Structure 1
């Protein structure tokens, strides 16, 4: 990839619950320590967009930390590790479920608890950034245009009312956002991330940013090799396996 390489890391639950949307706390802590020890800078989506829009300079290699769904274990297990290291993550919130439990398609066997607004406000004060993950966590491409608009606007407005500022960044549930949906997102947000498995860079489309599913990088040696710039072969292999899976189970839609 020409120019700076930005790995946008995708997390969901930091717990021992198992499955591709959960990473054990000790594995997560090891991933964070590897970032700190290798010296790869942690930037924010605001930094990335400043480079895309205004020409700000990015490091040669950097990472962005993203978390979908706003699970309570973010506050309990993930944030203390990142706070100690000085990292600023973003958490995408499905606003209808705040303070309750996940209730959307593809939920875990034991539905996980989401943070409440009081916790979210406390974390915002400590440096955590929050974005929108819609209102009700639907497949946006399956909705009529008016329903898509409602999901984008109502989630944005609820976060603004609770946190005092409108969110600038968005993550579509399941990573599903076709071109028409991306165009609607662009009316209300500064960026949108998906589940396409790749690193981002200067040429990446701002409303279809790729991410690395960190379930694939729980092996410490493999993760450190990737941070050192030696992970392209493994990433290509994972993309190939995902393509095969998609051919068998059409369409593969990610787990966001």
Structure 2
């Protein structure tokens, strides 16, 4: 059975750091992918496959980028355009700014911060324009036909800071509805995919997402994906390596039984980790087992 391997990027930047791939290595990865035999899926392709409207006759790859970082516009988008490779960008709707498109060219004045500093700036309404894309840039990327925009929440997981489980659920519903509203206003349609920030999710919260008409949810659980079930999408974090690394991951995760088995194991580990992290505030059954599709957990 053909399966889908989904790769997860954050930063494409010359500044080394966590969650960062250098522009040169990113170009080598995309160049290899462009000449490979893998089918590279658009966001709409994934929706059609999940609906059963289309068949997958060979292993496929999907590229996802989390958050909406400005370096994706400056360094990643030109490469994707050059090789005509599609990708899905998950955007944190409260972090996206206003203003004209900025040039692809870098004049040395923009010092790209590493991830930790970039997260600090993104949380600051005054400073976030230094590191986040603007709506003009996102919509231009979308209009290219290569970039599919989907939902990564409104506040990047701030609901988890509530002091009670009831508070978490209430804050999450508000956040989710706010992000959907922004999509309707800015893009003209509801999002069909949702990516969980920080890899943190629970059974009840995933069910709330399904209830809003979201058709696909993405996690940070490792593994690959079948089109025959409706489980949360498993993704592989891309390392700052040359194209050979990408090729090795695809060979490994497409060994029969390996991708699904590792996904289930990682789901169990992540469930235990979150159960300990939120112990005393959130019922432990909310996090176990995290690879199940639509949970029966009670709210």
TM-score category of the 2 structures, normalised to the smaller one: 0.7 to 0.9
Q: Cα distance, 1:204 vs. partner?
A: 4.5
Q: Which residue of 2 aligns with 1:17?
A: 15
Q: 2:174 aligns with which of 150, 165, 176?
A: 150
Q: How many residues align?
A: 241
Q: 2:230 aligns with which of 202, 205, 214?
A: 205
Q: For residues 245 and 191 of structure 1, do their structure 2 counterparts lie closer, same or farther at Cα, with a shift above 3 Å needed?
A: closer
Q: Which residue of 1 aligns with 2:88?
A: 90
Q: Which residue of 2 aligns with 1:191?
A: 216
Given that 1:48 and 1:58 are in contact with CA atoms closer than 8 Å, whether structure 2 keeps it comes out as no
What value does the CA root-mean-square deviation take over the aligned residues? Answer: 3.2
Q: Say yes or no: does 1:109 pair with 2:117.
A: yes
Q: Say yes or no: does 1:220 pair with 2:239.
A: no
Q: 2:136 aligns with which of 118, 141, 152?
A: 118
Q: 2:151 aligns with which of 132, 138, 155?
A: 132
Q: Cα distance, 1:25 vs. partner?
A: 0.9
Q: Where in structure 2 are there 5+ consecutive unaligned residues? A: 99-113, 123-130, 162-166, 278-299
**Residues 173-205 of structure 1, C-alpha deviations (whole Å, 9 max, x = no match):** 112111111101112212110100111113453
Q: Cα distance, 1:163 vs. partner?
A: 1.9
**Residues 16-49 of structure 1, C-alpha deviations (whole Å, 9 max, x = no match):** 2323311111111111111112121111232223
Q: Cα distance, 1:225 vs. partner?
A: 3.0
SS at match of 1:8: strand
**Residues 99-139 of structure 1, C-alpha deviations (whole Å, 9 max, x = no match):** 29xxxxx9513546110111112111112111111111115
Residues in 1 aligned to 2:235 and 2:138: alpha-carbon distance in whole angstroms: 24
Q: Where in structure 1 are there 5+ consecutive unaligned residues? A: 101-105, 252-256
Q: Cα distance, 1:146 vs. partner?
A: 1.9
